[in-house]
Amino acid sequence: CVERLEGTAPLFEIVVAEAHTYYASADSIVVHNPKVKKAKTCREVALGGTPGKHSKQGKAVWARAQADGEAQVTASGEKQVYVETSNGNWEWKKFDKNIHMGHDVDAVKWWNSKGYKYGAKSQEARDFMLDDTNYRFEWGPLNSSNGAGLKTVYRKPVGWGTKAWPPK
């Protein structure tokens, strides 16, 4: 039962570890953790986001993959892409949340050799990130492990000044 009360009362914002919803008070009032804003990664700060596979760039990658025989729509209407899996085999995979936009030229390598000279989220950096010819579809688990395997960090961008890098 919810009852409206007039006046003011103290408000406390707390976060309970590993619990999104929990009970508070002897009355078992259900409360929710606030949405905690994730810190941006160096990549997001330096280059901005990767376009999604349903974006203009993603549609161009799909068209190119389809023309190259690496994307198809089955008779039942399911979209599939031909991608390398973590065991090194190439397989048709459903075009779902596990298919990512992968760079042909790795983003951190490009940033560390050229991009950092232009500055964070410069026009050149955004042009690199939005160039559909720089992408292919990758199976998500392999895409993530490839990036982690580089063990490379983003260089501090020119013009960043004395602010901490990587950003927190």
- Closest to 79 (Cα-Cα) out of 88, 87, 70: 70
**Alpha carbons within 13 A on the beta-carbon side of 139:** 17
pLDDT of residue 144 exceeding 70, the answer is: no
User: Is 70 in contact with 26 (CB distance < 8 Å)?
Assistant: no
User: Is 107 in contact with 129 (CB distance < 8 Å)?
Assistant: yes
pLDDT of residue 39 exceeding 60, the answer is: yes
pTM, whole model, 2 decimals?
A: 0.72
- Structure tokens that stand for 104 in this block: 């042909």
pLDDT at 10: 72
Long-range contacts of 50-54 (CB under 8 A, 24+ apart): 50/101, 50/107, 50/129, 51/101, 51/129, 51/130, 51/132, 51/135, 52/101, 53/95, 53/99, 53/100, 53/101, 53/137
**Can you tell me the distance from the alpha carbon of 147 to that of 42, in angstroms, rounded to the nearest whole number?**
13
pLDDT at 119: 94
Residue that wins the pLDDT comparison between 85 and 34: 85
Q: DSSP letters along 103-149, please?
A: ESS-HHHHHHHTGGGT-TT-HHHHHHHH-GGGEEEEEHHHHHHHHHH
pLDDT of residue 80 exceeding 90, the answer is: yes
Residue that wins the pLDDT comparison between 19 and 111: 111
pLDDT at 67: 98
